[in-house]
Structure 1
Amino acid sequence: MKADSVKIADGVYWVGALDWDARDFHGFAVPGMTYNAYLVFGDEKVALIDNVYDGFYPEMWARIEDAFAKEQKEIKIDAFVINHIENDHIGSIPEFLEQCPDVECYCTQAASMGIKRQHHCLADQEFNVITTGDTLDLGGKTFTFINAPMLHWPDSNFTLYNEEGILFSNDAFGQHICESKRYDVDVDPAYLALHAKKFYANLVQLSASMVLNKVAEMTEAGYLDNLTMIAPCHGQIWTQPGTIVELYAKWAKGEADEKITVIYETMHHSTQKMAHQIVEGIMSEGVEAKMHFIRYDPESDILADILDSKAIVLGVPTMMNNPYPKIGNLLAYLSCVSPANTGVRKTAAVFSSKGWAGGAIPKLTESLTAAGFDVLEDEAVEEIYVPDENDLDKCYELGKKLAQMVKE
């Protein structure tokens, strides 16, 4: 096949793959994906940074051939830097190492073990283990390695290309989108910020304190002094790296907007009517409201809105003395990513409709409290069968009161 590389700096090429058809990535709703890999030409050696998902190797290799042709050099890759070992980054490693058997491989200790556990055919493969501060000289061009455990896996590593000021950050600072152009400035800024937020909320949020510590560590070491680009393994390359670094710092500190996310499920439209009235109450105070219908909206989208909301409202019907089961995935997801990991607990309120005994309210409260929310137990709204006008007034007032609290 034929595929063009993209030159992003002197002797540096994007040689990744475009997954136009991806719509789901382990439960993460996506509008396509990119698997970014980069080829760096030094005066003496050539290095490949990262790799692509299984099935996309021919596309990456075609771009590598194109990059070598543009540099007017015979194909020979001397070094292979593996920043992260999730399958979308190492799926094609066996094919690559079969084609380039003499390449020197560089990765963290955790990565070397993980690669061998995922690709048993590489059990005897040798890896050069890298730690923070280690360097690699390509001849006039040098890399500095910065271990970044839990951003977002234990094996994660950043590679800084010193002479050009490019940080190859792997999953950190990425976005799950697929565009024909490679840079942040090539897409709508609001669209890019939305998908960067969604990526952080679902994949990095759990490590909020580590984000702040790593940014502080890199700043103190001077690694960010001459940064010109952040080149992640997914999505657009940041030519204005301060933009995404500032956003990560904001999210990691738990800073949120005057915004409330309302999330609901319904059986026969009762909780739906209640949810709509709660949103009307929120809007009456000039506070931004986001509405999510659990039946149709992916948890990954809901989580992105929760990230920068000061409060949430969650409502489902009661079914056999329990919350309606469709809420289960979201509650498990919230417990998994720990929104309160920033040290800032968000406010939450709950509502429900019931036929007779009820039971959803206390269990929703328990689950949200365990996930790190401060639940306003006295503000819970629970109605029998179909809410009447008085019931809907209570919902409107709940939304209004929450909005006032958010503004305060």
Structure 2
Amino acid sequence: MIANAKKIADGVYWVGALDWDTREFHGYTLHGSTYNCYLVFGDDKTALIDNVYPGFFPELWARIEDAFAQEGKDEIKIDVMIQNHIEMDHSGSLPDIVEKFPDIEIYCTQIAIPGLKNHWPSLVNKEMNPIKTGDTLDLGGKSFTFINAPMLHWPDSNFTLYNEEGILFSNDAFGQHICSGERYDYELDPKAVENVAKKYFANLITLSSPLVVSKVKEMADAGYLDKVKMIAPCHGVIWTKPQTIIDLYAKWATADCEDKITVIYDTMHHSTQKLAHEIAEGIISEGVKVKMCFLKEDDESDVVTEVLDSKAIALGVPTMMNNPYPNVGKIIYYFNCLSFANAGKKKKAAVFSSKGWGGGAINRLTSDLENAGFDVLEDDALDVHYVPDEKALEQAYELGKKLAKAIKED
């Protein structure tokens, strides 16, 4: 295979892989991704920071060969492997690297060691060097400082700061699932990059929002952030203006939301759909932005992305056999996984349903949302028999208005 490395600084190369074809990752939809890894040439040693998903090693190796050629080196020799994270999209080619370089020194967090050996049995007897925050590594003229970053987004996660050039190799933090030939943020539309970064945060980082805030403060207090001139994550483009994504993470992690409500709904015979549309009209009448998410068509990963920067949601589905329409179960489980309450104060919520018998969906939806960390307006739930008449539609409109007023007054 022929593939080229991209020089991003003196003696530093992007040597990752482009996954043009993946459409699902970590349970959410996307349109391709990158597995970024980086080769750093020191005077004495050469280090590879992270690697690629199983099956992509030929592409990684082709770029490594090109990087060595660009450096004018005839012999390919990698002395150090820095494994910032154990998931397979970051460690999938570690056995191939060790096979080519049996004496390579592997550096990772203490908790990553058993994880890597569990993932890759061929490495069970391979010595690995545990790293903790503040530890350093000198390649000769180039040095790294390690910053453990547990739960950003796994317990084993680590950041590696290249001191001389101020490049923060941040692994999964600050990433985006973008697949393109461009390597830098300024080469793509800024709003498009922000949108995919938001989706990435919503689906992967929301649960760890308090840790985002504390880690950024910790790095600032230690003087690390003052050194950072570039953030090179393991997915997507490299941030040449790192404060852009740092500020966005601070906003999302603290639930600094605009006046926006996401209406999430499904329907069997259009009754709940009619209620949802009228609720939206009530929200709009108060000058509040509304986003509609139709569960029959919209993917859950897109729904939670809208919820991330919303102050409230309205959730409605039909009642089926005295319970919520089963299709709502996936988004409820997703809310439980992400725990939006961790991103600051609780988001408000209203629930609505259409029923044919005695009902039951409203109580279950209310309980489920409260358990997921939402502040539900219980006294304002809307439960309609069969097809909503004009009175029911008026109630839906007023529910939208009330929810909109509640977020403006909060």
TM over 0.5: yes
1:261-290, Cα deviation, whole Å (9 max, x unpaired):
000011111111111111111112221111
- 1:375 matched residue in structure 2: 376
SS for the counterpart of 1:225 is helix
Q: CA deviation at 1:216?
A: 0.7
- 1:19 matched residue in structure 2: 19
Partner letter of residue 137 of structure 2?
A: L
Q: In structure 1, what is the Cα distance between the partners aligned to 2:95 and 2:343?
A: 39
Q: CA deviation at 1:404?
A: 2.0
1:317-341, Cα deviation, whole Å (9 max, x unpaired):
0001100001101101111111001
Answering whether residue 183 of structure 2 is matched by residue 192 of structure 1, we say no
Q: In structure 2, what is the Cα distance between the partners aligned to 1:209 and 1:170?
A: 19
Partner letter of residue 165 of structure 1?
A: G
Q: CA deviation at 1:225?
A: 0.6
**Between the two proteins, what is the percent identity of the paired residues?**
66
Partner letter of residue 282 of structure 1?
A: I
| Residue pairs, 1:248-327, within 5 angstroms | 248-327=249-328
| Residue pairs, 1:236-255, within 5 angstroms | 236-255=237-256
Q: CA deviation at 1:17?
A: 0.4
Q: In structure 1, what is the Cα distance between the partners aligned to 2:287 and 2:344?
A: 27
1:46-88, Cα deviation, whole Å (9 max, x unpaired):
1100010011110011011111100101211111100001111
The answer to whether the 8 A contact 2:322-2:357 is kept is no
Partner letter of residue 30 of structure 2?
A: V
SS for the counterpart of 2:69 is helix
| Residue pairs, 1:397-408, within 5 angstroms | 397-408=398-409
Partner letter of residue 22 of structure 1?
A: T
Q: In structure 2, what is the Cα distance between the partners aligned to 1:301 and 1:376?
A: 24
Q: CA deviation at 1:170?
A: 0.2
The answer to whether the 8 A contact 2:366-2:378 is kept is yes
- 1:217 matched residue in structure 2: 218
- 1:203 matched residue in structure 2: 204
- 1:3 matched residue in structure 2: 3
Q: CA deviation at 1:26?
A: 3.2
1:346-397, Cα deviation, whole Å (9 max, x unpaired):
1000000000111000000000001111100111111111111221111111
- 1:44 matched residue in structure 2: 44
Partner letter of residue 66 of structure 1?
A: D
Q: In structure 1, what is the Cα distance between the partners aligned to 2:288 and 2:167?
A: 39
RMSD over equivalenced CA pairs, Å: 0.9
Q: Which runs of 5+ in 1 are unaligned?
A: none
Q: How many residues align?
A: 408
Q: In structure 1, what is the Cα distance between the partners aligned to 2:121 and 2:296?
A: 40
Q: CA deviation at 1:119?
A: 1.1
Q: In structure 1, what is the Cα distance between the partners aligned to 2:178 and 2:400?
A: 34
1:295-336, Cα deviation, whole Å (9 max, x unpaired):
221211111111110000000000011000011011011111
Q: In structure 2, what is the Cα distance between the partners aligned to 1:9 and 1:21?
A: 29
Q: CA deviation at 1:403?
A: 1.6
TM-score by length of 2: 0.98
Answering whether residue 92 of structure 2 is matched by residue 91 of structure 1, we say yes
Q: In structure 2, what is the Cα distance between the partners aligned to 1:157 and 1:399?
A: 44
Q: In structure 2, what is the Cα distance between the partners aligned to 1:92 and 1:324?
A: 44
Q: In structure 1, what is the Cα distance between the partners aligned to 2:26 and 2:176?
A: 15
The answer to whether the 8 A contact 2:177-2:235 is kept is yes
SS for the counterpart of 1:204 is helix
Q: In structure 2, what is the Cα distance between the partners aligned to 1:402 and 1:367?
A: 19
Partner letter of residue 85 of structure 2?
A: H
Q: CA deviation at 1:45?
A: 1.1
Q: In structure 2, what is the Cα distance between the partners aligned to 1:11 and 1:175?
A: 25
| Residue pairs, 1:53-72, within 5 angstroms | 53-72=53-72
1:182-222, Cα deviation, whole Å (9 max, x unpaired):
11111111111111111111111111111111111100110
The answer to whether the 8 A contact 2:332-2:368 is kept is yes
Task: Please identify, of 90-99 and 214-223, the stretch whose mean Cα deviation from structure 2 is larger.
Answer: 90-99
Task: Please identify, of 19-28 and 362-371, the stretch whose mean Cα deviation from structure 2 is larger.
Answer: 19-28
Partner letter of residue 82 of structure 2?
A: V
- 1:362 matched residue in structure 2: 363
Partner letter of residue 41 of structure 1?
A: F
- 1:329 matched residue in structure 2: 330
Q: In structure 2, what is the Cα distance between the partners aligned to 1:248 and 1:352?
A: 35
